[in-house]
Chain A
């Protein structure tokens, strides 16, 4: 007998003569306490994200590439990892060229094995999009794919993410429903709610544990 059948047989014996319990999931319990008027939604997200050291800016969508450049300038950073196959990646590259930005743009365009060491140690910052935001918990939804791989939001010490104001949902349940998550998920779906942190020593909060030390969210108000 395999371990599998032994385990399943034992469990089935324990349930002999019983019926599965009904599904009485009540979505009101996970939505009603977490509903926001449109004008409060961004504020809620912003407040929660800032409470955990996220830097949040609201701006018009045409302005974000310049803002990214400015964020790098003010920190004196030398390079930026970006996703050339995305719309925002192309927009960034255009701006970089036209504005004569000095920082080195590094495209995530080859398998990690080809440049793992460099990605781990030599990238200063990254820019990614997002699949939306969640007001109730102050979270970004990241939906990594072949154009924008998952490590982009993890390895660089500074992660800059774009968030369209129109894609902020009230709560996680609403987001799941709106985007039909149960119909199909990517290999790695992520909720990110701030820069990496730990309180493992004396419960003292320290940022920059293993992931980004800084998270900057650019909310694009007309997008």
Chain B
């Protein structure tokens, strides 16, 4: 029987969650250790800078080329997949996508689903949707399984349970599965293996994501290390793949550099243990594999990002997670602080298109713009540039017609007037002099409390004399 899976409710703001995360020593240690190691692994996997940069440039061109003909490629993909016997479905919203998946399960009278790791299914909150309809949807990636068992959400797109240590996993398995506690990671994994193998055997339907959908051959390519992806796509009688519309590439050869960029950037591996290329359901004379294969193509705001040539670059993303591994903000606040499916720098630029800036008003500004994310992105998404663009969209007035879903979420007429005043002050020399004179002479009247700044810092006090004054004085004394 299925059970309702509780999900962590995230009601407070990014700011509140960040404060909580920053005060959690264990969490910070878990992330710091993991991110340091992932950064080192990536660096080791690209020993030759010239090779790396050439490959990144090529990766960028391949994705830009695919996006420049996206509607045609999607039609080609659909035609080719259909020819291969894979049924293609289209969904504008996550609700539509869930309905399609549930419909397929219902048509087989299915009650048990196993799922390989899929971020798109997280977008859909598929587990909850299916649970509410009496279908058990079990995560089979070890990290995802751990997170689901604890009623949580993933905190990293590649390493979902990175916020937990072995002690926490041991206790979780003990509490939920009734096994003895152990801090031996191998043993913990073997517990997961045994539990999930039974589920692979019983499942009516397997769900997976897609890393690259190849239009030329009508192929769905999936990468993984565990074998749960292969299990989910091979053992049950039906396989349903869900993916975003931006995952299509033109030619089979295009995946050669993308694959290398993906696995080296994500985990520092030359390749993952399995590269699983699916080009059709079981043929009449074959002995295993699913009888039906479906692909659900999901929009969920992607076409909104696509409409703008600059923001379109967001859709280059191949979901390697390198931007979060290298992000000083992500490393300190962790994935859950972002409160949405995609955390870190990529989350900050893609989430607004999915849920709107009203829901994530702090996303564009939760960055120091240090540029590390853009420097490591394997497909050269200019993340800092896109963050700045989203900051502008975030404060546009309705009259300025924001280009992003719920743009203008942080628009404030008062703040706008204040900046107008500041601009006037700085563009009129006479007024500026008068202001400087007043600010230095009346410095004792400077406010003692200036918003969040003074929560952690002493209040700034203007200097006794302005730089202008000091320079003038210096020159009058005959200084050089």
A residues with CB within 8 A of B: 2-4, 6-8, 10-15, 18-27, 29-30, 33, 48, 52, 108-112, 116-117, 120-121, 136-139, 145-146, 149-151, 154, 171-173, 176, 181-182, 184-204, 206, 208-212
The complex places the Cα of A154 from the Cα of B197 at a distance, in Å, of 12
Given contacts A206-B185, A209-B142, contact A149 B287 (CB under 8 A): yes
Q: Is the CB of A198 within 8 A of B226?
A: yes
Partner among B90, B161, B165 whose Cβ is within 8 Å of the Cβ of A2: B90
The complex places the Cα of A172 from the Cα of B279 at a distance, in Å, of 18
Can you name 13 extra interface pairs (CB under 8 A) apart from A3-B96, A11-B70, A206-B186? A8-B75, A10-B299, A21-B68, A25-B254, A27-B253, A30-B260, A116-B201, A120-B200, A172-B259, A197-B273, A200-B161, A201-B166, A210-B197
| B217 within 8 Å of A (CB atoms) | yes
30 A-B pairs (CB sep. < 8 Å): A3-B90, A7-B245, A10-B306, A14-B312, A15-B68, A15-B69, A20-B69, A21-B64, A25-B61, A30-B55, A111-B288, A120-B200, A138-B271, A139-B275, A146-B283, A150-B234, A173-B253, A181-B217, A182-B252, A184-B217, A185-B217, A187-B281, A187-B283, A188-B278, A192-B274, A197-B225, A200-B141, A202-B34, A203-B38, A210-B230
0 or 1 for each of B350-392: is its CB under 8 Å from A? (1 = yes)? 0000000000000000000000000000000000000000000
Q: Is the CB of B201 within 8 A of A138?
A: no
The complex places the Cα of A195 from the Cα of B196 at a distance, in Å, of 18
The complex places the Cα of A4 from the Cα of B100 at a distance, in Å, of 13
Specify which chain A residues have a CB less than 8 angstroms from the CB of B55 in the assembled complex. 29-30
The complex places the Cα of A114 from the Cα of B273 at a distance, in Å, of 29
The complex places the Cα of A163 from the Cα of B200 at a distance, in Å, of 29
Partner among A29, A121, A149, A211 whose Cβ is within 8 Å of the Cβ of B227: A211
| B119 within 8 Å of A (CB atoms) | no
B residues with CB within 8 A of A: 30, 33-34, 37-38, 48, 51, 54-55, 58, 61-62, 64-65, 68-72, 74-75, 90-92, 96, 140-143, 146, 159-162, 164-166, 169, 185-186, 188-190, 192-193, 196-197, 200-201, 216-217, 219, 225-228, 230-231, 234-235, 245, 250-254, 256-257, 259-260, 267, 270-283, 285-289, 297, 299, 303, 306-308, 312
Specify which chain A residues have a CB less than 8 angstroms from the CB of B267 in the assembled complex. 199
The complex places the Cα of A188 from the Cα of B208 at a distance, in Å, of 15
Q: Is the CB of A151 within 8 A of B277?
A: no
Partner among A10, A154, A193 whose Cβ is within 8 Å of the Cβ of B272: A193
Q: Is the CB of A150 within 8 A of B289?
A: yes
Specify which chain A residues have a CB less than 8 angstroms from the CB of B279 in the assembled complex. 185-189
> Top 6 A-B pairs ranked by shortest CB distance?
A211-B227, A200-B143, A209-B226, A191-B275, A210-B227, A196-B227
The complex places the Cα of A120 from the Cα of B194 at a distance, in Å, of 11
Q: Is the CB of A208 within 8 A of B217?
A: no
Q: Is the CB of B303 within 8 A of A14?
A: yes
Specify which chain B residues have a CB less than 8 angstroms from the CB of A7 in the assembled complex. 74, 90, 92, 245, 297, 299, 303
The complex places the Cα of A116 from the Cα of B160 at a distance, in Å, of 30
Partner among B96, B146, B200, B256 whose Cβ is within 8 Å of the Cβ of A201: B146
A51 to chain B minimum Cβ distance, whole angstroms, is 9
Specify which chain A residues have a CB less than 8 angstroms from the CB of B34 in the assembled complex. 202-203
Specify which chain B residues have a CB less than 8 angstroms from the CB of A111 in the assembled complex. 287-288
Specify which chain B residues have a CB less than 8 angstroms from the CB of A2 in the assembled complex. 90
B422 to chain A minimum Cβ distance, whole angstroms, is 36
The complex places the Cα of A121 from the Cα of B165 at a distance, in Å, of 30
The complex places the Cα of A188 from the Cα of B201 at a distance, in Å, of 19
Q: Is the CB of A48 within 8 A of B270?
A: yes
The complex places the Cα of A29 from the Cα of B55 at a distance, in Å, of 7
Given contacts A8-B71, A116-B201, A211-B227, contact A145 B286 (CB under 8 A): yes
The complex places the Cα of A163 from the Cα of B480 at a distance, in Å, of 80
The complex places the Cα of A191 from the Cα of B251 at a distance, in Å, of 18
A24 to chain B minimum Cβ distance, whole angstroms, is 6
Q: Is the CB of B225 within 8 A of A120?
A: no
Q: Is the CB of A33 within 8 A of B51?
A: yes
Q: Which residue of B lies closest to A136 (CB)?
A: B270
Q: Is the CB of B287 within 8 A of A146?
A: yes
Specify which chain A residues have a CB less than 8 angstroms from the CB of B37 in the assembled complex. 203
The complex places the Cα of A14 from the Cα of B271 at a distance, in Å, of 35
Most chain A CB within 10 A, of B54, B245, B250, B253, is at B253
A111 to chain B minimum Cβ distance, whole angstroms, is 5
Q: Which residue of A lies closest to B281 (CB)?
A: A187
Q: Which residue of B lies closest to A113 (CB)?
A: B237
Q: Is the CB of B146 within 8 A of A15?
A: no
Specify which chain B residues have a CB less than 8 angstroms from the CB of A4 in the assembled complex. 90
Q: Is the CB of A21 within 8 A of B226?
A: no
B99 to chain A minimum Cβ distance, whole angstroms, is 11
Partner among B61, B245, B280, B308 whose Cβ is within 8 Å of the Cβ of A24: B61
Specify which chain B residues have a CB less than 8 angstroms from the CB of A209 in the assembled complex. 142, 189, 192-193, 225-228
Partner among A146, A198, A201 whose Cβ is within 8 Å of the Cβ of B285: A146
A153 to chain B minimum Cβ distance, whole angstroms, is 9
The complex places the Cα of A138 from the Cα of B201 at a distance, in Å, of 30
The complex places the Cα of A51 from the Cα of B282 at a distance, in Å, of 34
Q: Is the CB of A198 within 8 A of B245?
A: no
Specify which chain A residues have a CB less than 8 angstroms from the CB of B169 in the assembled complex. 201
Most chain B CB within 10 A, of A6, A52, A195, A210, is at A210
B49 to chain A minimum Cβ distance, whole angstroms, is 12
Specify which chain B residues have a CB less than 8 angstroms from the CB of A197 in the assembled complex. 225-226, 273
Specify which chain A residues have a CB less than 8 angstroms from the CB of B74 in the assembled complex. 7-8, 11
B313 to chain A minimum Cβ distance, whole angstroms, is 13
The complex places the Cα of A14 from the Cα of B190 at a distance, in Å, of 49
Specify which chain B residues have a CB less than 8 angstroms from the CB of A3 in the assembled complex. 90-92, 96, 299
Q: Which residue of B lies closest to A117 (CB)?
A: B201
Specify which chain B residues have a CB less than 8 angstroms from the CB of A18 in the assembled complex. 68
Partner among B65, B142, B272, B285 whose Cβ is within 8 Å of the Cβ of A20: B65
Q: Is the CB of B197 within 8 A of A120?
A: yes
